[in-house]
Chains A and B, each alone.
Chain A
Amino acid sequence: MATLVKRNHWVIRLTHWVNVVAIVIMAGSGMRIFNAHPAFARPGEHFPLNPWEGRPIPEWLTFGGWLAGARHWHFAMMWLLVANGLVYLAFLFFHGEWRDIVPRRGDARDAWEMLKFYLFVRRDHPAQAKHNALQKSAYFAMPILGVIIVLSGLAIWKPLTLGFITRLFVNYKWARFVHFVAMALLLLLALVHVFMVFAVDPYSLRAIVTGWYDRARSPEARNARPFYHLFGPAREVPAEREVPPV
């Protein structure tokens, strides 16, 4: 059992799961709000950047029931999302975990190697620290999208009292567009993230619930690609590869 390591601090685990609840409700209610006028142009105007202009999001993906209900959920849950995000970012900053996700020189090359491995161009799993280079870039992009979502959200919530934020995004219409596109990108990253958990590293589920992770079953130890060597035998990996838990 020497390969068992504490991988995720309880603050990381807690903020992760609060985030799941907050983002699901924010995205669902946000899409219900969008459906009240599922277009970026006002009635009678043209908006060239949205090929599905005027087409609503399927009802089953939305939350809140009707426009007013969804608005109440959205404007209540936004505080949880922001508070949780601030706790997460502050913890990352003061506790040093930012090192796990902030890109470094060489990450682009490592990401390319990971891609080659996933596409069967390369045989062996590239060496990695806590996350591989593709994961790192995704986990780094998420809080950045979060900041864009919060700022553009403030811009359309208070276009008069916080008009200076609205003007950062040119105007109300573009702020709403940015808010929507950033949400869509964040959901896409989250979907890929969940897919990869089940397709490549189901053992990481334990690490995000209890914190414990068996290094002998890491994707690197199993040489695992999506759906390949999913439950491979435990193997020894050099101890120095894992960043020691802080």
Chain B
Amino acid sequence: MSMDRRRFITISAASLSGALLAACNANPDRAQKLLALAERGNRRVEEGLFRHTAMNHVSPSAPIAGASFPKYRISKTVPIWDTAARGVWRLEVSGAVRRPLALTLDDLMKLPRITQKVDHFCVEGWNARATWSGVRVSDLARAAQATDDAHYVDFTSFDDDYHESWDMASAMHPQTLVAYGMDGYLLTPAHGAPARLHSPVKLGYKNTKYLTKVVFMPKQNGGYWSDQGYEWYGGT
């Protein structure tokens, strides 16, 4: 009896580890399917945990990263808006809205201003603090009268083809800003001038810099890093 049991367990252990190895190496497609399933499940868990009342708290005395706040872009050179070639920079708010907007930096600065010291969480594992000034994306949605079809928001940039789309709930979080100021000054080109998306609710790569368009959409359309294999949700 003990031999039978032993053989049974040995065989089960062998086939279990075989299946796992197959999942990891010999059959990457199956592993990818499993991982994609886990990502979908995780996204549901993350959306379920998400609350507009859950805020990023940074103590008023906590030091900011200042000049050492990391900079990053996709283009080979720092993208600078070329007014001569492209005209005055405007932020387009469009898509599933009743009143599309095209806001100059002056228009943006006339909207209710939020200034907040928050964390920036990078997917690489570091976080850095800065004080951001700008307009809540939820205020832009209200001004443009986003419709009931607006379930997602895409944030497009002029940093090559960089863009990232968000779920509506994260975009409407009170700490999600279209920021034009950093640490008390207007944004510099290195940090996404003239305006960028900034929020502690998503990982850094979801926070589009060099912003040109905020498009409300019924469906999500991926994003620069999401399309290359990073989680689309990318929430904190």
Contacts and interface: CB of A to CB of B under 8 A. Distances in A.
Interface of A: 13, 17, 21, 25, 33-34, 36-37, 39, 41-45, 66-69, 71-73, 75-76, 79, 156, 158-163, 167, 172-173, 176, 209-210, 212
B111 interface: no
Top 10 A-B residue pairs of the complex, sorted by shortest distance between their CB atoms: A44-B68, A76-B38, A42-B126, A37-B124, A68-B229, A160-B236, A36-B124, A72-B35, A210-B6, A161-B49
B55 A42 contact: no
Interface stretch (B93-101, B115-123, B149-157): B115-123
B121 A172 contact: yes
B229 A34 contact: no
Question: What class of interface size applies to chain B in its complex with A?
Answer: 35 or more
Given A44-B65, A72-B38, 10 more contacts: A37-B124, A42-B122, A42-B128, A79-B38, A158-B46, A159-B56, A159-B119, A160-B235, A173-B127, A209-B13
B79 interface: no
B20 interface: yes
B125 A33 contact: yes
A3 to B, nearest CB: 14
Contact of A161 (B13, B46, B70): B46
B13 A160 contact: no
B39 A72 contact: yes
Contacts of B50: 161
A156 B41 CA distance: 19
B125 A73 contact: no
A172 B2 contact: no
Nearest to A13: B9
